[in-house]
Amino acid sequence: MRHQEISTKSKVLSAAGWLARLAVVLLALASGAFAQDESRRWTANVGGGFTPLVGSLNQRLDNGWHIAFGAGYRVNARFTIGGQVMYNGFGVSKGVLQELTVPDGNSHLWAFTAEPKLYFAPRHRINPYFVGGVGYYRRVVQFTRPSVAAVTIFDPFFGFLPALIPADQVLGTIVRDGPGGSIGAGFSIPICETGAKFYSEIRFHYADNGGIPTRMIPWTIGIRF
């Protein structure tokens, strides 16, 4: 179990370093355009970052990470409407694993939301905005134990061969879904004259996922086209 904790912390620190380097590179490039391209109506974005949990859920699951992507339509220079898909990955707390006497576990959450976005300085290099969202949230928790799986591999010399690889055997699954929403703020910065923009935002998400609701504050950095 200690080895798993160290491995998880190493992955989080590695992701933090990668995200920090990405932010530095994008900020270094953001020195060209000062105004939004208002002729471009449709937008798309992709990003990722950390997902801290708050409330009762923080005692059951470990803080995690997320990726997000979406598209939007620019009504005017200040207002955009669109949709967003976000995937969050979490761990299961050591206390829960000990309570249920299971070796390991994992959790993930999908969020599908419709989102309005209000920009405050569309003709400036740094353009802050407010963003909200409402939609459907699906939270899944799985309890597992180490196992092996039989697969067939191909070797150029010997041909097809049977082999055993490490795998997780699922002991049980808990699914909770329901409506939810989010509210937050961020800013965008143009990346030279490419038409793309670096953005960073933080939001509070709440979803009614049964007896223990989902409360999280993901921080995202990414690129919007």
**pLDDT recorded at residue 19:** 54
Radius of gyration of the chain (CA): 21
Across 78-83, average pLDDT = 95
d(CA 115, CA 147): 42
Helix (H) / strand (E) element for 159: namely strand 159-190
Rounded CA separation 156/144 (Å): 34
Architecture of domain 2-89+111-135+175-224: Beta Barrel (2.40)
Cβ-based neighbours of 73, under 8 Å, separated by 6 or more: 41, 42, 43, 80, 81, 82
Q: Where are the alpha helices (DSSP H) in 30-111?
A: 94-100
Per-residue pLDDT tens over the stretch 124-167: 899 999 999 999 999 999 999 888 777 788 778 777 878 777 87
Q: Place 169 in a pLDDT band, splitting at 50, 70 and 90.
A: confident
Query: Would the pLDDT of 31 be above 80?
Result: no
| Residue % of the chain over a pLDDT of 70 | 83
Give yes or no for residue 191 having a pLDDT over 60: yes
pLDDT of residue 34: 37
* pLDDT tens-digit readout, 201-213: 999 999 999 889 9
Lowest mean pLDDT: which of 8-12, 158-162, 181-185?
Answer: 8-12
Does the pLDDT of residue 33 top 50, yes or no?
Answer: no
Question: Where along the chain do its domains lie?
Answer: 2-89+111-135+175-224
Q: Which of 84-93, 154-163, 188-197 tops mean pLDDT?
A: 84-93
> Is the per-residue pLDDT at 69 higher than 80?
yes
Q: Is the pLDDT of residue 101 over 50?
A: yes
